[in-house]
Amino acid sequence: MVVWLNSVNTPQRKNDMNPTASIETPELPLQVARDGAVVTLRFNRPKALNAVDIPMAQAILRAARELVDDRSVRAIVLCGAGRGFMAGGDLATLRADPNRGASELIGPLHEAITLLSQMDAPLIAQVHGVAAGAGLSLMLQADFIIAAEGTRFSLAYANIGASCDVGASWALPRLVGLRRALEIAMLGETLTTADAARLGLVNRVAPAAELEAEVKAFAQRLANGPTVAFGQLRRLMRESFSRDLPAQLDAEAAAFIKCAGTQDFKTGIDAFFAKQPAHFEGR
C-alpha cells in the first residue's frame, strides 16, 4: 500500500517518515509517498512542467534530510507529476533576481543531491515527457534511469546563456565521455529516447503506459536486495574516477569487509549453501 507523507512542507521528526503515516497533500511542490521500503519523491508543479522553483528546491532538500539517516528506506524513486519529469529551473524566479534566484535554487538542490548520494538506498529516475536543464541534471544523478518512449532530453543551459548545475558536469562526462558531453552541453540540442539509450543516458526505455509499473517492479527488486552492499557499490563506482588502482583496491577491500559483517552477507552465504534464494533485510 502506498501512503503519502507530509514531511516536505515542514521539518519533521525522523519517526514521522514511517510506513503507517498517511496524509495526501496534492498542493505541495513535492509529494512524498512510501510503499514499504520504497520512497517516491514526485515533483508537483504540473502546470509549469515541474520547473523547480525555490519552494520545490527547499522541499527536495527537506525530504533528503529526512531520508538520509532512515535505514528502513531501501530504494528511492524520482518522478514528475503531469506531462513531464522536469522542464528545468523556474525562469521567472531567475529573471526576477538572477543572482539571488540562482543561489536560492542551486544551494538546496546541491545539498539534497549530496545527501542522496551518501545513502545506501539506490536512486531511480522515472522519466517521461521532458527532462531539461535542472531536470536532466537531477535525472543524471540517479543510479538507474527508466524513461518512457517519446521522452525528450535537453541540457538546455547554454540556450539561456548559462553553465550547468546540479551535478551535470560531473555525471555527463562519466556517462558519455568528455567530447560528447561538451557537445550535449554547448549545443543544447534535444535528444530522443533512442538517442538517450544509444548514448547510455538511460538504462531502459518503456512504453509510456507501462512506465510506472516497470519502475515499481524495478524499485521493489532493488529494495529486496542487500542494501548495505548496494551502498558500498554506489560509492565504489562513483569514486573510482578519482582514485588510482591501488587506492581503489584498498577501498574495495574495506567495503567488502564492511559487507562481510552484515546480516545480509550471512543470509546470502547461508542461502548459497542451502541452494535457496536469499531473502535480504537490508542490514
From first to last of its 283 residues, what are the pLDDT tens digits of the chain? Answer: 555 565 444 334 343 444 333 334 457 999 999 999 999 999 999 999 999 999 999 999 999 999 999 999 999 999 999 999 999 999 999 898 999 989 999 999 999 999 999 999 999 999 999 999 999 999 999 999 999 999 999 999 999 999 999 999 999 999 999 999 999 999 999 999 999 999 999 999 999 999 999 999 999 999 999 999 999 999 999 999 999 999 999 999 999 999 999 999 999 999 999 999 999 999 9
Question: Which pLDDT score, from 0 to 100, does residue 27 have?
Answer: 77
Question: Which pLDDT score, from 0 to 100, does residue 6 have?
Answer: 54
Four-residue CA torsion sign, 86, 88, 89, 91: negative
- Contact between residue 74 and residue 282 where contact means Cβ atoms under 8 Å apart: yes
Burial of 145 (0-12, 13-18, 19+ CB in 10 A): buried
Residue whose cell numbers read 574516477: 241
| pLDDT per residue as tens digits for the range 121-168 | 999 999 999 999 999 999 999 999 999 999 999 999 999 999 999 999
What fold characterizes domain 3-223? 2-enoyl-CoA Hydratase; Chain A, domain 1 (3.90.226)
Sequence-distant (≥ 6) Cβ neighbours of residue 19 within 8 angstroms: 3, 34, 36, 72
SS3 content of the chain, % helix, strand, coil (to 5): 50, 15, 35
Burial 77-102 (b: 16+ CB within 10 A, else e): bbbbbbebbbbbbbeebbeeeeeebe
What fold characterizes domain 227-274? Lyase 2-enoyl-coa Hydratase; Chain  A, domain 2 (1.10.12)
Burial of 251 (0-12, 13-18, 19+ CB in 10 A): middle
| Backbone dihedral angles phi then psi of residue 58, each to the nearest 5 degrees | -65, -35
Please state the domain extents for the chain: 3-223, 227-274
Residue 74 has a CB neighbour count (10 Å cut-off) of 27
pTM for the model:
0.89
Report the length, in residues, of the chain. 283
